[in-house]
Amino acid sequence: MIEDRIQRQVLDMYGEVDRAVTAAGPICVASGKCCRFKEYGHTLYLSNLEADVLLSNAPPYEQPVSADFCPFQKENLCTAREPRPLACRIFFCDPSYQETANRLTEEFLHRMKDLARENDIEWRYAPLHHFLNHEAHTNPKRERGPVSDVQTPGLPRSRVGLV
């Protein structure tokens, strides 16, 4: 687990993200499809810092978690709204917003990576199900073997960069 102080910094950053997204005003038709990854045809990537905040604050979920959908979506709604990661906050399917989404993703992922570096936390970036199945409540400063399919992002294969 990362320190509370760093978790608060991540949550503060989420506040900034939310304000930037609200200012951009993307349209959401609340289909819930974007959280059903296989149906939508994309993968949600996140960093270990975001995963830590999510796992510390989200409701319990059943394991194993598949790559097909997010276990926190219930009846088309997110049950982990406060701690949901960057891509969940930034992604909207509104075509007129995609350039803004890419810009916000790049900016805030860089800032998240800087936060990890400043605090001597190993940077890891992987699909959601990897963290939910393998990395729950581990110490980010501890030495670990590689998690398969982990990548270092430029622009990610995330909900913003569809796969």
Site residues (vs ligand SF4, CB under 6 A): 35, 44, 70, 72-73, 78, 80, 84, 88
Q: Which is nearer to ligand SF4, 2 or 88 (CB)?
A: 88
Q: Which is nearer to ligand SF4, 137 or 142 (CB)?
A: 137
For the CB of residue 118, give the shortest distance to ligand SF4 in the complex, in Å. Answer: 26
> Alpha-carbon distance 35 to 143, whole Å?
31
Quick one: tokens of 29? 């038709």
Q: Which is nearer to ligand SF4, 33 or 117 (CB)?
A: 33
Cβ–Cβ under 8 Å, residues 120 and 49: no
For the CB of residue 91, give the shortest distance to ligand SF4 in the complex, in Å. Answer: 8
Contacts of residue 16, Cβ cutoff 8 Å, sequence gap at least 6 = 108
Q: Which is nearer to ligand SF4, 84 or 124 (CB)?
A: 84
For the CB of residue 74, give the shortest distance to ligand SF4 in the complex, in Å. Answer: 8
Angle between helix 98-118 and helix 48-57 axes, rounded to 10 deg? 90
For the CB of residue 52, give the shortest distance to ligand SF4 in the complex, in Å. Answer: 14
Contacts of residue 26, Cβ cutoff 8 Å, sequence gap at least 6 = 92, 94, 96, 97, 100, 101
